[in-house]
Structure 1
Amino acid sequence: MTQVFGGMCAPSIRSYPVWRLPTYTGRHPSIQGVKLKFIDETCKTQKPLVPSPQVVQHENGFMHVTINVDDPEPLFTQLIRQLKQAILDGHLAPGAQLPSIRQLANDLELNSKTVAKAYRLLERDGVIQSKGYRGTFVHPEARSNCQTDLNQWVNAQIAELIATLKEAGVTDSEIRIAFSNAMNN
């Protein structure tokens, strides 16, 4: 069956309602299990139905996470970007409870290790926080912490160091060996 919306096809796009906002008051998030798969074998264009990755807030209060398995961007990075964007857009307020790793992995049909990696990196960056057996919540300072990209900072620091070393006359192989030695220690 061909799913076409607005003249665009959606091959290999997974879009699932993930959790209800903001009415949750119980112990576990209310997960809505309607799965929408858009696979089009006859469409010749490779444009996604919803430009991926993005978080969409619909009028019925559901947040949709769109994972594009054909995107060269890693799946955990797509998830991180979408959760950060949801926080910046105000769809996820500080203190809001997120689904468990297992539940989100099941709903998105991802490996739980992929979701765990995304959650671990978000927690490292101060975007979310785990509260033991009570669950995972949006960090109170999440909006300001979403603006900080630790990977970008690390890349800038390493590029600056490499430029300094090259100015001093150090060769590329000496730099690689030094970095390898430093990483192994």
Structure 2
Amino acid sequence: MNIILSNASDEPIYGQIVRQIRSLILNSELDPGQSLPSIRQLAKDLGISVITTKRAYEELEKEGLIDSVVGKGSFVSGANPQFIREQRLKQLESKLADIVEESRSLQLTLEELFDHIRLIDQGMEE
């Protein structure tokens, strides 16, 4: 698992960890049941505080993406496919909101935006 942290980012370190692990799970790059590095090991690997990695794992556990077992470690949750789909849709909606905001700043109409999306989609099919 390759996590890249940026000290220049406005996002807190624990948030960067959560975002990247969430992405790995939702994109099926980490499989259900797969073990994650221990909190201490991840902290050591990233050169950060154990408290920071603990907070990130707690957040992921609250989201239902990982399960932590005392004495055994943390594992990717066996969340059902519908839950994973809903989480991915939530990410997609966030990206779409950014795209709509950007298109408004360019003064594109909704139809012009759809035309651009269609062109990109057609280009991906080829």
Residue in 2 that maps onto 1:75: 13
Partner of 1:65: helix, strand, or coil? Answer: coil
Residue in 2 that maps onto 1:114: 52
- In 2 relative to 1, CA 64–104 (structure 1 residues): closer, same or farther, beyond 3 Å? same
For 1:70, the aligned partner's letter is: A
* 8 Å Cα contact 1:94-1:139 kept in structure 2: yes
* 8 Å Cα contact 1:87-1:142 kept in structure 2: no
User: Do residues 102 (structure 1) and 40 (structure 2) align?
Assistant: yes
Identity among equivalent pairs (%)? 38
TM-score, length basis structure 2: 0.63
Of structures 1 and 2, the one with the larger relative CO (CA 8 A, separation 6+) is 2
- In 2 relative to 1, CA 138–120 (structure 1 residues): closer, same or farther, beyond 3 Å? same
Query: What is the RMSD computed on CA atoms of the aligned residues?
Result: 1.9
Larger C-alpha radius of gyration, 1 or 2?
A: 1
| Large movers: runs of 4+ above 4 Å | none
Residues 93-115 of structure 1, C-alpha deviation per residue, up to 9 Å, x if partnerless? 00000011000000000111010
Report how many residues are paired: 87
Alpha-carbon separation, structure 2, partners of 1:142 and 1:108: 30
TM-score, length basis structure 1: 0.44
- In 2 relative to 1, CA 133–109 (structure 1 residues): closer, same or farther, beyond 3 Å? same
More strand by percentage: 1
* 8 Å Cα contact 1:100-1:135 kept in structure 2: yes
Alpha-carbon separation, structure 2, partners of 1:142 and 1:115: 25
Residues 100-144 of structure 1, C-alpha deviation per residue, up to 9 Å, x if partnerless? 100000000011101000001111111100112111100100762
